Amino acid sequence: MRAAVSLNQLRLKSKHQFECMLKTGDAFLCSAAKILIYFFLLGVVFFWGCNQESSPNPAPSSALYFPPLEGTQWDTIDPEALGWNTSELEDLLLNLELKGTRAFLLLKDGKIVVEAYFGQNLIGNAPFTRDTPWYWASAGKTLTAFTVGLAQEAGSLSINDPTYQYLGEGWTSLTPSQEAGITIFHQLNMTTGLDDSGNLDGTSPADLQYLAAPGTRWSYHNAPYTLLEKVVSEAVGSPFTQYFSDNLAKPIGMNGQWVWVGDNHVYFSNARSMARFGLLMLAEGKWSDDVILEDKGFLNEMINPSQNLNENYGYLWWLNQSSSFMVPRLRMVFSGAPIPSGPADMYSGMGRDGQFVSVVPSQNLVLIRMGDNPDDALVPFLLLEDIWTALTKVIP
């Protein structure tokens, strides 16, 4: 049996892992052995290729609640009124606390059903509350994907444009013809073909070497993603952070800040801001009567397979509808869904240490989790599967 972990131990681990994040960014440096053992225990058999056409995500109900843009008002629903098993919910919250969770929210139809906070803030000198900021890690990639969609809808760029059109020739160490083949589309779905065997976060031309033709190899590579911010900035003629704030964050009441952590630009916010973004996605780009992103085509492409190399990856979103999937740093393709206990139509932003924004259109649910990863696995599939295993006992 796993021994219970005290809050003091969790606080120390929080500091240690944040220091690791400062040094290494969000590169998912979990051992391959730990990942393989996990999927074998789930009964997943891996193989070297599988393609199956997936169905689009079901549309959410039109009866969604949206909280005011300012203030703390946010309507709630009693879980008992929904017929949820509250005794199992108590067990779930206890386990979340023991596993280093700082914030956990569940929205149903936009209203808060569960909102819980645990432990200390990042530096361990104050309790974690509704207003405490925490890092999104790679879950923040979904914010960048949405912002690219905004820039495309405004006519500032097309995702089919070659990247050099915005970063200039020589942004990589590739030949001109090789470099010309890389588009914004490839950056969005991790298929640039750039060599990921060296510094995964480095964005200098020396760090960006040729390995394969664009679109022929999927690999979780931070550097090409990070450069999407510069692409957007050049396309719209203003800093990425300003464009993001004016066109995405402020219109839905998000409060947060982008912070450079080494070579990575990491978003920090409170959990409710993350929940606002999840609700925006559930509402298919709308916030109450305001349309934030109207391009249904782009919205659909973000949350459906973007290529046939890794079926569980859209535009920087992880998908649960796939019949096969890949995980960071492994060249294997596994059969089945990455989160077997989770709903098939769920899509998630996932970040190091288990930062999750998960959306389930068929159930009008949004799940938010911020905190530490309890076992240093650094591949959050494992933790999200644990959460959904417990949630299946809570939600009828």
Cβ count within 10 A of residue 115:
17
pLDDT tens string 93-125 = 999 999 999 999 999 999 999 999 999 999 999
Neighbour-count burial for 230-245, b at 16+ CB within 10 Å, e otherwise = bbbbbbbeeebbebbb
C-alpha angle 46-49-50 in degrees, rounded to nearest 5: 95
Nearest alpha-carbon partner for 368 in 233, 267, 272 = 272
Rounded to an integer, what distance in angstroms lies between the CA atom of residue 26 and that of residue 18? Answer: 11
Q: Which residues pair with 365 in a beta bridge?
A: 108, 360
Mean pLDDT of the chain: 87
pLDDT of residue 58: 58
Q: Tell me how long the chain is.
A: 396
Domains of the chain, first to last: 7-128+240-394 (3.40.710), 157-236 (1.20.58.710)
Nearest alpha-carbon partner for 384 in 307, 325, 311 = 325
In percent, the amount of the chain with pLDDT more than 70 equals 83
Token digits for 316? 């920087």
pLDDT tens string 288-313 = 999 999 999 999 999 999 999 999 99
Confidence label for 379 from pLDDT (cuts 50, 70 and 90) = low
Rounded to the nearest 10 degrees, what angle do helices 141-153 and 271-282 cross at? 50
Strands (E), 317-364: 318-319, 324-325, 333-335, 347-351, 355-360
pLDDT at 318 over 70: yes
Q: Which residues pair with 76 in a beta bridge?
A: 112
Using DSSP's 3-state secondary structure scheme, residue 54 falls into coil
pLDDT of residue 329: 84
Token digits for 45? 């058999």
pLDDT of residue 375: 65
Q: Which residues pair with 261 in a beta bridge?
A: 264
pLDDT of residue 322: 87
Higher pLDDT, 360 or 39: 360
Confidence label for 194 from pLDDT (cuts 50, 70 and 90) = very high
Provide the total of helices (H) and of strands (E) in the chain, helices listed first.
Answer: 14, 14
Mean pLDDT calculated for residue range 34-59: 42
pLDDT at 16 over 60: no
Using DSSP's 3-state secondary structure scheme, residue 4 falls into coil
Mean pLDDT calculated for residue range 249-257: 98
pLDDT tens string 142-155 = 999 999 999 999 99
pLDDT at 87 over 90: yes
pLDDT of residue 25: 41
Say if residues 240 and 147 touch (Cβ distance below 8 Å).
Answer: yes
Rounded to an integer, what distance in angstroms lies between the CA atom of residue 92 and that of residue 81? Answer: 18
Mean pLDDT calculated for residue range 20-40: 41
Mean pLDDT calculated for residue range 214-223: 97
pLDDT of residue 380: 81
Full-model pTM: 0.87
